[in-house]
Amino acid sequence: MVAFDQTQTSNEKDANETGANGDLVDGQVVKLDRGYPLVRLDDGRTVRCEHATSLVKEAEWRAVIGDKVVVDAPAHHDKGIIVEILPRTRAFVRKDPTERALPQILAANFDRVLVAQPLSDVNTRRLERELVLACETGAEVSVVLTKADLAEDDKHIAEVQSRVRALAGPDVAVDVVSLQDPASVEAVRAKIGKHTTAVLLGKSGVGKSSLVNMLVGRDIQETTPVREDGKGRHTTVSREMIALPGGGLIVDMPGVRGLGLWDASKGIETAFADIEAVAAHCKFRDCKHINEPGCAVLAAVGAGEIPAERFASYQALMQESKQVSERREEARRLRGEKASDKHATNKTRASRGKSSSTKRRGGKRT
């Protein structure tokens, strides 16, 4: 990052950041590596960028993979400068693993989330959490069972796929991919059509890089052999947007370990739609499904209609979401903010983004 002369005035710094000629170009962040976004500009160029000082000091967010941004690339600077982050259509958000009550955005402006799990070693608890976070984004969600080549036989594949389908619910497609079965790869590729952007989510070693290579049709991502225990090794270290045959894009992200919930109530309702449907028949509208009389959910669990293990996961995730919400509200109160303040701020940001967009013509501001 270029260090500015500390003797410069604020006005001089602002003038430098707007560039020598004032030309501003729209673009999209296509790679994020060690904090420096790589932006594909609408004029065809690709430029490594840093954030404007005003964004670093004042903005709530930094640009993430998929963000639509406004960039200035002055001749006297060795990098482009992101001067504005445009409003997002959707975002993948988790609780910041290093903070008690802050969100962390991993990707923005996508249409589908692909949740990757190894067929031979599906982690049910993690998959439930991944589905909650994926459903919370409002994007289309699919599960991709990777490494089918390591399965014992076709019967084993069918059993695992059936089990995951039952967990994911009727609205989530569950695909099995194998390098030996081109049709299985094509079935996943078909879900990422022209003008569609997908985010590939999964823990390190589940075969995401191999899946990307299969979808692209060539070895574009580095892969490493599986260990003797059949588990993969971490390969991808940066978030990158990769073009697929047919015009779609896929965001290959590093393996995400921590999946703390942020604002996940809607995601839980969607991921556990079967339990929510039964809950609609509880005697009390605010039933917590603990020991309330007339609880339809507890009755369904007792009758074996809802697996006790799945219900336990639902309760645990609901409790976690509630606790995060309470900590978030407490942090807001400590800052002297009201819930309405946040909504007003978001509305202002959105209107500013729309206003700025209408001022640009041909990549320039008028």
For residue 14, CA distances in Å to 8, 9, 18, 33, 265 come to 10, 9, 6, 26, 41
| pLDDT for res 5 | 33
- Domains in the chain, CATH or no CATH each: 1-7+14-86 (2.40.50.140), 91-252 (3.40.50.300), 265-342 (1.10.40.50)
| pLDDT for res 95 | 73
| pLDDT for res 338 | 62
| pLDDT for res 90 | 93
| pLDDT for res 325 | 79
Q: How far apart are CA 261 and CA 94, in angstroms?
A: 5
CB 223 within 8 A of CB 179: no
| pLDDT for res 15 | 39
For residue 349, CA distances in Å to 59, 63, 85, 88, 235 come to 10, 15, 10, 11, 37
* Closest by Cα among 214, 203, 197 to 30: 197
| pLDDT for res 102 | 72
| pLDDT for res 170 | 80
For residue 233, CA distances in Å to 128, 207, 250, 256 come to 23, 9, 21, 13
| pLDDT for res 119 | 93
| pLDDT for res 267 | 87
Q: How many CB atoms lie within 10 A of CB 101?
A: 17
Give me the tens of pLDDT residue by residue for the chain, a chain 366 residues long: 223 233 333 333 443 444 444 578 999 999 987 768 999 999 888 899 988 888 877 767 789 999 999 999 766 666 899 999 999 999 988 877 666 667 788 899 999 999 999 998 999 888 988 899 898 899 999 999 998 888 878 899 999 999 999 888 888 999 999 888 899 999 999 999 999 999 999 888 888 888 999 999 887 766 555 444 444 444 445 678 999 988 899 998 775 666 667 777 888 888 898 999 999 999 999 999 999 999 999 999 999 999 888 898 899 888 888 887 787 777 777 767 665 555 444 443 443 444 444 345 344 443
3-state secondary structure the chain: CCCCCCCCCHHHHHHHHCCCCCCCEEEEEEEEECCEEEEEECCCCEEEEEECHHHHHHCCCCCCCCCEEEEECCCCCCCEEEEEECCCCCEEEEECCCCCCCEEEEEECCCEEEEEEEHHHCCHHHHHHHHHHHHHCCCEEEEEEECHHHCCCHHHHHHHHHHHHHHHCCCCEEEECECCEHHHHHHHHCCCCCCCEEEEECCCCCCHHHHHHHHHCCCCCCCCCCCCCCCCCCCCCCEEEEECCCCCEEEECCCCCCCCCCCCHHHHHHHCHHHHHHHCCCCCCCCCCCCCCCCHHHHHHHCCCCCHHHHHHHHHHHHHHHHHHHHHHHHHHHCCCCHHHHHHHHHHHHHHHHHHHHHEECCEEC
CB 49 within 8 A of CB 38: yes
Q: Do β-strands 360-361 and 364-365 pair in parallel, antiparallel, or remain unpaired?
A: antiparallel
CB 239 within 8 A of CB 253: yes
